[in-house]
Structure 1
Amino acid sequence: MVAAASVVTVVGTVTGMISALENGRGFDQARPAATRTPSLAPLPAIPSPSPSLSRATRTPTATPKHRLPTPTPARTERKQRTTPVTSLLYRHPDSEVLDWVRAHPADPRTALIESRIADQPAAVWFADYSPDTIAARVRAVTAGAAAEDRVPVLVPYAIPDRDCGGASRGGAPDLAAYDAWIDAFARGLGSGEVIVILEPDSIAQSDCLSDADRAARFASLARAGRTLKAANPRARVYYDAGHSGWNPPAKQAALLEQAGALASDGIFSNVSNFRTTADEIAYDRQVLDALGGPESLGAVIDTSRNGNGAPPDGQWCDPAGRRIGRAPTMTTGEAGVDAYLWVKLPGESDGCKGAAGTFTPSYAYDLAR
């Protein structure tokens, strides 16, 4: 196992995102969702997954909202890794950083922010529960990517009880509604290549749930993976592995197996965090080994803000001295590592250097220098 930092802080994943939300500018517009992660004190090496309640004080839910048996996922039948046909990732044409660049052509920071951040492909988040429009909004993104022969990165983020009731709380009202939402989401995937980052924090941050609620959530996640793959066999679906400073690899692998990850394309790690790429590669390989090392599974890593690694004091809220990491690519040169992605858009504040979830040019400039 990769040695965890002496101080670890759980970061609620959605501390600012590109989010394809329904608004006056159309369903295909990627906009940041202004959700805020609360300020946390440093936590021990295996942190409480709840940003607001400790294990000792949280009262488990007595009756699950959508009780299902613990899933027993079937192993994938693929015998070898699938090589992508398209190697270029998609940059959605609308985001707060692009809006700022277009509105400030004379600002001395614009050229650097544009070349190092705005021009890079980043994930599109679907963080609101909107069952009537989700298929059309997903389809708008996948169709735009297909027209450019590029691969979009989509983040469905509507699992009930997400963020353990913390600042990023929300999602579908219950798991039955979530299952229907995923069905609609899948209808928008089209037939081209697409990467799906399925529900950040939903597995690593599940200790706050009762055993029955956790089993029900994992059953829905397993179903979601099957649904997405059935709708588009070229979709590459990845499951939540937390990051190298969170759960030990063996524990995370056990949770992933319960949630159906063995029938997926692999795992993702470091979403919205700062862990070094080297630490994440080592950690992800250990998680995959603990899953039995199937050749069909790989890993993708969020490198958006990990250029200088995690701050030694465990600070998570727009910490000083951080830098953007490796540019997004599907050609990593690392065995078992399928892609480096920018799931969190650099420059969107965690809430300390600007309003949470909004683009802050001074922060973006610091990251890009």
Structure 2
Amino acid sequence: MSRSRTAMIAALALVAGASGTALAATSGGVGTAAVPCTVDYKVQNQWATGFTAAVTLTNNSTAKSSWSLKWTYAGNQKITSGWNAKVSQSGAAVTASNESYNATLSSGGSVSFGFQGSYSGTNAIPATFTLDGVTCNVDSGGGPTNPPTDPPTDPPTDPPGPTDKVDNPFTGAKMYVNPDWSAKAAAEPGGSRIANQPTAVWMDRIAAIEGVGEAMGLREHLDEALKQKGTGQLVVKVVIYDLPGRDCAALASNGELGPTEIDKYKTQYIDPIAAIMSDPKYAGLRIATVIEPDSLPNLVTNAGGTNTTTEACVTMKANGNYEKGVSYALDKLGAIGNVYNYIDAAHHGWLGWDTNLDPAVQLFKKVATTNGASVSDVHGFVTNTANYSATVEPNFKITDSVNGQTVRQSKWIDWNNYADEQSFAQALRTKLVAAGFQSSLGMLIDTSRNGWGGTARPAGPGPQTSVDAYVDGGRTDRRIHAGNWCNQSGAGIGERPKAAPAAGIDAYVWVKPPGESDGASEEIPNDEGKRFDRMCDPTYGGNPRNGNNPTGALAKAPIAGQWFSAQFQELIKNAYPPLS
């Protein structure tokens, strides 16, 4: 956008000043107690054909265990989506009723919700609101306390709204440094060298929204982000990660919700997150969400017809709750003007074969166009989340050949179409756009633990005695097998977060905070639903998903998400580029 900061502030003031704020007043000797309820209806953003609005309802009468607010539009406004309330419309009449988590409305208590709508002509503020049949903003004598006024007939030029989302939210912006992670990193020997790096905030269970133990909740993180933002732009990365039957192929990251608890996922997890993110207080932040790591890729490769199939993945494909949950998250969060949704797309060592990638693209498109979601709710995709695949393999290309054999024929590549994450992400983007996603689609790559530096890093290509010697001698990714994912021995900190590092890539980011375990190396009882996965056991001989190879996992690891000091030390020792 080319508008100056002054012009933007003026435009916002015009909209806010005509927002129809209706508050209890004391003019004429009438106190606030005489008003049974007040409604503050604000048009936040308005453009040529649409608008977003925020509503705050205050109950001044007896406490309520449920509530229903109604109004009627004078024009042709149509509400298209809402959050923090069940909003329905019949003709010009609108009803907003409570969700399960905000049903209680105490005497003097308030509740806020929001919605997006379309209109043509004028967008007049409703004249009357009723709470459970009682007229709000009117004192006991029947007079309005502060009558609402209409927004300007002609909205400001280039008004801020959902269509104003920038092409790449990371360009020209700082990234949020999570204080919880930063403190743990700084407390480690040598950790101060990366403690100021930005990492994602993981919402991996319902309790995390409010904060667990000493960990900050989502609202606390966003409040802190406002402090870090200052006068510039800032991106906060939030991982949405609590689907029913979560991670059907990896026990270490199983979650709290059972396979059928889709309604609980919607009302107790996504809806409260959307309510916090849609608070006008945070409208100046850019919030980049990472939507449900590993979920949709599991439906592609592990839900039937292959030797990697699991019963849990078959169940989740049959009941459709991964698809329904991701669609719901896209719809609810995508409706918020400053939220940028990035769907997780696994990594090249998982989906890099056309037999996996093409079905994945079809599934991504289905999820982005059903159950209320649309492709406009998807800003991009993210690869390598919490994984170790090298961003770029510098010593060989997928098109190289040795003694008449191509790199694809090597045991390490195993006929994969891609040798590294960046080439995979760029090719995936091309396929997604061809399938109907927006041409502005951007990709993220998690580089937090894929540096593979240290003494084991090859200085150049391997010998050309055979294609396997050439690839194995030159590859920087030193895992035993590309399917190994748990607390990998020899891994190092990767590229530091940066915006627009390559064509089609919105940013390198640290989604997985370095030092947080991938899973326990032995059975550890816990109340988070996380189970023991043998892929985290260094003595395990593997399974079909890693070619029946040793796991390469570190010993004595705690459960997923807990601090693992030995892993952190390994990562900073093997960082590439090296730490200064």
Question: Is the TM-score greater than 0.5?
Answer: yes
Moved more, 144-153 or 205-214: 205-214
Residues 307-339 of structure 1 deviation map (CA, whole Å, 9 limit, x = unaligned): 12543412433333221111112x233121111
* Residue 99 of structure 1 pairs with residue 184 of structure 2: yes
Taking the aligned partners of 1:238 and 1:87, their CA distance within structure 2 comes to: 17
Residues 109-128 of structure 1 deviation map (CA, whole Å, 9 limit, x = unaligned): x2x32113x22111111111
Contact 1:323/1:368, CA 8 A, preserved across alignment: yes
* Residue 267 of structure 1 pairs with residue 381 of structure 2: yes
| 1:302 aligned residue | 446
Contact 1:346/1:367, CA 8 A, preserved across alignment: yes
Contact 2:168/2:506, CA 8 A, preserved across alignment: no
1:163 to 238, 247, 256: 247
| 2:50 aligned residue | none
Contact 2:203/2:240, CA 8 A, preserved across alignment: yes
Q: How does 1:19-30 map to 2 (within 5 A)?
A: none
| 1:313 aligned residue | 480
Deviation of 1:202 (Å) = 1.3
Taking the aligned partners of 2:179 and 2:479, their CA distance within structure 1 comes to: 36
Moved more, 344-353 or 242-251: 344-353
Residues 85-118 of structure 1 deviation map (CA, whole Å, 9 limit, x = unaligned): 75110011113x623634x6xxxxx2x32113x2
Contact 1:299/1:338, CA 8 A, preserved across alignment: yes
With over 3 angstroms needed to count, the CA separation of the structure-2 counterparts of 1:318 and 1:172, relative to structure 1, is closer
State the SS of the aligned residue for 1:277: coil
Higher RCO, 1 or 2 (CA under 8 Å, sep at least 6)?
1
| 1:355 aligned residue | 558
| 1:23 aligned residue | none
More strand by share: 2
Residues 251-274 of structure 1 deviation map (CA, whole Å, 9 limit, x = unaligned): 221121122173300111101111
Structure 2: segments with no counterpart, 5+ residues: 1-161, 304-312, 369-373, 393-419, 453-475, 521-553, 574-580
The one-letter amino acid paired with 1:119 is N
Deviation of 1:217 (Å) = 2.5
2:175 to 89, 111, 114: 89
Residues 227-256 of structure 1 deviation map (CA, whole Å, 9 limit, x = unaligned): 1021x2111111021100112321221121
Taking the aligned partners of 1:359 and 1:212, their CA distance within structure 2 comes to: 33
State the SS of the aligned residue for 1:322: coil
State the SS of the aligned residue for 2:445: strand
Deviation of 1:138 (Å) = 1.9
Moved more, 78-87 or 218-227: 78-87
**Max Rg structure:** 2
Residues 23-56 of structure 1 deviation map (CA, whole Å, 9 limit, x = unaligned): xxxxxxxxxxxxxxxxxxxxxxxxxxxxxxxxxx
The one-letter amino acid paired with 1:286 is A
Deviation of 1:368 (Å) = 1.2
Q: How does 1:236-255 map to 2 (within 5 A)?
A: 236-247=340-351, 248-255=356-363
Contact 1:303/1:328, CA 8 A, preserved across alignment: yes
State the SS of the aligned residue for 2:492: coil
Deviation of 1:363 (Å) = 2.6
Deviation of 1:355 (Å) = 2.1
| 1:285 aligned residue | 426
Structure 1: segments with no counterpart, 5+ residues: 1-76, 105-109
State the SS of the aligned residue for 1:209: helix
Contact 2:361/2:431, CA 8 A, preserved across alignment: yes
Deviation of 1:79 (Å) = 11
Moved more, 264-273 or 342-351: 342-351
1:335 to 495, 499, 503: 503
* Residue 223 of structure 1 pairs with residue 328 of structure 2: yes
Please, what is the CA RMSD of the aligned residues? 2.7
Taking the aligned partners of 2:358 and 2:257, their CA distance within structure 1 comes to: 30
Contact 2:288/2:339, CA 8 A, preserved across alignment: yes
The one-letter amino acid paired with 1:322 is A
Taking the aligned partners of 2:511 and 2:165, their CA distance within structure 1 comes to: 26
With over 3 angstroms needed to count, the CA separation of the structure-2 counterparts of 1:172 and 1:86, relative to structure 1, is farther
Q: How does 1:42-81 map to 2 (within 5 A)?
A: none
Contact 1:157/1:171, CA 8 A, preserved across alignment: no
Contact 1:249/1:283, CA 8 A, preserved across alignment: no
State the SS of the aligned residue for 1:200: coil
Taking the aligned partners of 1:99 and 1:291, their CA distance within structure 2 comes to: 38
* Residue 146 of structure 1 pairs with residue 221 of structure 2: no
Taking the aligned partners of 2:255 and 2:191, their CA distance within structure 1 comes to: 32
Report the TM-score, using the length of structure 1 for normalisation: 0.69
With over 3 angstroms needed to count, the CA separation of the structure-2 counterparts of 1:362 and 1:187, relative to structure 1, is same
With over 3 angstroms needed to count, the CA separation of the structure-2 counterparts of 1:132 and 1:301, relative to structure 1, is closer
% identical equivalent positions: 28
* Residue 123 of structure 1 pairs with residue 231 of structure 2: no
